Amino acid sequence: MKALLTGNEAIARGAYEYGISVAAAYPGTPSTEILENISKYPEIYSQWSPNEKVAMEVGVGASIAGARTLVAMKHVGVNVAADPLFTAAYSGVRGGLILVSADDPGMHSSQNEQDNRHYAPFAKIPMLEPSDSQEAKDMVKLALEISETFDTPVLLRITTRIAHSQSLVELGEPMEREIKPYTKDAKKFVMIPAHARTRRVFLEERDAQLATFSEQSAANFVEMRQQSFGIITSGVSYQYVKEAFPQASVLRLGITHPIPKQKIMDFANEVDTLFVVEELEPYLENQIKALGIKVVGKDLLPPYGELSVSLLQKNLGAYLNVANPSVAVTTEQSNIMQEVQQPFTAPVRPPVMCPGCPHRGVFYVIKQLKLVVSGDIGCYTLGTMPPLEAMDTCICMGASISAAVGMEKANPELAGKLVAVIGDSTFMHSGVTGLMDVVYNKTAATIIILDNSITAMTGHQYHPGTGKTLMNEDSPTVDFAALAKSLGVRRVAEVDAFDLETVKKVIQEEVAAPEPSVIIARQPCALMLKGQTEAVVCEDCKACRVCLRIGCPALSFDEEGKTVVVNKPLCTGCNVCIQICKFGALRKGGA
């Protein structure tokens, strides 16, 4: 039976069919749905971990205990998990171990764009890159086999378009789940220097064996057509190549570390002009050039962002027209190019917090108080957008608190003006360690935890502060106030995020205090509210426009600019605008 699946769903299906017993992740677009879908298979123990490092460590432990294991994260998460990953490359596995890295070319929802293919040669582990959902599932099987045969974690690298695009997948029956018998093997799994030195040599031997495997693997295949030009490609770029140049010969690499050098040389000898089509870095191109092969790649294609069919036709087509008119772009392709190059006229919608978002009022107050804000990654990062513009820094997950320590240490005058703002899930991810630093190194930082009781930005995943697991079981809930106190914070306040007067008073008090403070501003994410409470209405508006300063999408002006209009289907009745209107024009439910 076939089903239409996204790459993420297909990887989850592969985990189910090919005997994965343990799966762990921290949610992050574009990888989130892998674990969400795995959790639908009760045969697999699955968990959200507080961060990617923890997820990786859970995976390594499960593999050592004999289980086939999958760990998933977005590209930046691999930076967090790099520490255990690099050592797991040494210790190897018992049950097959897959790390899925979901990269985000074009930064659809990421703070940077990084090409995680470099992690494979860096950590000396094999890497697979699927080109559609069927391969995403098939490569779970291949990765497990490689992992167990060659005693190595395997990097399964996907990108946003593979993760989120749908294609047909043949569904199979699940194999029997097996936990290999546990035996102690300290020389393999205890990486003290004496043991690690032995494994270091093993890493080189393993890479050489994997290179031979890569030469023979059907995951690297040639589609021979025109000999005048050939293209080496991998991942989603293979789909763009097929659509842009159906007449081209193609070497599609499914194993992109180690690359099959002989296969590449043989292919290069078969074609007159050789291109490498790959997104982001010249990862394949540099390795192919190092083989002494003349190849055209990043001379024509950008080393950033996503590729597209039109971009390939435009840039490679122009090159071919000049260099080899006999293989010039066909009329049909030229027509397609003109079509896709027509300007895209959909209106641009800037990212904005949802109506009723509990973060909006807190940022409104912070802006009123003219505070310096060390921010973090989550929906609340949108507090940096107009009209709120209430954020000074945003670096990576958990950095708000530790960066605030640095800012205060560097410039003590900031002590009375600085707040670190972090969400509940991000605080669990890696904010707790920063808070320890605040206390331990004696700063007066004020930390505002925006607790909306969920990991909102990635689509409502649970975390240790929510009292629920990925498998929907009740679990103990981390008490942020008690946790902060246990870390040595003496000033801990809990406020209603919609009560702007109290929020303002408490922030003023805590910022002025000469010691660390934690303020927990609580209200659930607006998208979790079941059914709408009474929507706000506007009567006798004085058109002062003050309420627009909160940037709520439910508020706008009528065409003449005389009165505020409340979009009732959007309004959640959060009350924030009511508190801001000094004329009492905004009222709940027309009261």
Give binding residues for [4Fe-4S] cluster as ranges.
541, 544, 547, 552, 571, 574, 577, 581
Sole binder of ligand SF4 in the list 71, 72, 301, 379 (CB under 6 A): 379
Q: How far is the CB of 576 from ligand SF4 (least distance, A)?
A: 11
**From the CB of 471, what's the least distance to ligand SF4, in Å?**
23
User: Is beta strand 248-253 parallel, antiparallel or unpaired with respect to 20-25?
Assistant: unpaired
546 binds ligand SF4 (CB under 6 A): yes
Binding of ligand SF4 by 541 (CB under 6 A): yes
Distance of CA 50 to the CA centre of its chain: 14
Residues in the chain: 591
* Residues 435-474 close enough to bind ligand SF4 by CB under 6 A: 452, 456-457
Name the minimum Å distance from CB 360 to ligand SF4. Answer: 8
Q: How far is the CB of 537 from ligand SF4 (least distance, A)?
A: 10
- Regarding 391 and contact with ligand SF4 (CB under 6 A), the answer is no
H-helix or E-strand spanning residue 322? helix 309-323
538 binds ligand SF4 (CB under 6 A): yes
The Cα–Cα gap between 463 and 429 comes to: 9
Shortest Cβ 165–ligand SF4 spacing (Å) = 24
Give yes or no for residue 507 binding ligand SF4 (CB under 6 A).
Answer: no
Among 421, 588, 387, 381, residue whose Cα is nearest residue 519: 421
Q: Is 556 in the site for ligand SF4 (CB under 6 A)?
A: no
- The window from 34-42, 245-253, 271-279, 582-590 that contacts ligand SF4 (CB under 6 A) reads 582-590
Binding window for ligand SF4 (CB under 6 A); candidates: 69-77, 263-271, 278-286, 583-591:
583-591
Q: How many residues bind ligand SF4 (CB under 6 A)?
A: 24
Triad 482, 523, 54: Cα angle to 5°: 55
CB of 431 vs ligand SF4, minimal distance in Å: 16
Contact range with ligand SF4 by CB under 6 A, out of 6-14, 195-203, 305-313, 521-529: 521-529
Q: From CA 528, how far away is CA 53, in angstroms rounded?
A: 28
Cβ proximity of 20 and 148 under 8 Å: no
How are beta strands 166-170 and 2-6 bridged, if at all?
Answer: antiparallel
| Sequence-distant (≥ 6) Cβ neighbours of residue 544 within 8 angstroms | 582, 583
Give the torsion through C-alpha atoms of 265, 270, 273, 274, to 10 deg.
-40
Strand pairing category for 372-375 and 418-423: parallel
Looking at beta carbons only, is 124 or 429 nearer to ligand SF4? 429
Amino acid sitting at position 185: D
581 counts as binding ligand SF4 under rule CB under 6 A: yes
Give CA–CA dist 256/241, Å, rounded: 17
CA distance readout (Å), 380 to 217, 293, 526 = 46, 49, 13
Q: CB within 8 A of 111, min separation 6: which ones?
A: 76, 377, 394, 395, 396
* Strand 97-103 to 68-74 pairing: parallel
Taking CB under 6 A as the binding criterion, the range among 177-185, 238-246, 271-279, 577-585 that sits at the site for ligand SF4 is 577-585
Paired with 47 in beta bridges are 24
* N-to-C CA span, the chain: 57
**With binding defined as CB under 6 A, does residue 583 bind ligand SF4?**
yes
Contact call for residue 547 and ligand SF4 (CB under 6 A) = yes
Block residue for tokens 């706008």: 556
In the complex with ligand SF4, which residue's Cβ is closer, 525 or 535?
525
Residues 351-370 that bind ligand SF4 (CB under 6 A): 353-354, 357, 359
Q: Which residues contact residue 349 at a Cβ distance below 8 angstroms, ignoring those fewer than 6 apart? A: none
Query: Taking CB under 6 A as the criterion, which residues in 296-315 touch ligand SF4?
Result: none
Q: Which of the ranges 133-141, 300-308, 393-401, 520-528 carries the binding residues for ligand SF4, by CB under 6 A?
A: 520-528
CB of 566 to ligand SF4, least distance (A): 9
What is the x/- site pattern for ligand SF4, positions 156-185, by CB under 6 A? Answer: ------------------------------
Among 2, 291, 544, 562, which residue sits at the site for ligand SF4 (rule: CB under 6 A)? 544
CA dist 426 and 383 (Å) reads 16
Smaller CB separation from ligand SF4, 257 or 359? 359
Q: If you compute the radius of gyration of the chain from its CA atoms, what whole number of angstroms results? A: 27
Contact set with ligand SF4 (CB under 6 A): 353-354, 357, 359, 379, 452, 456-457, 525-527, 538, 541-547, 564, 581, 583, 585-586
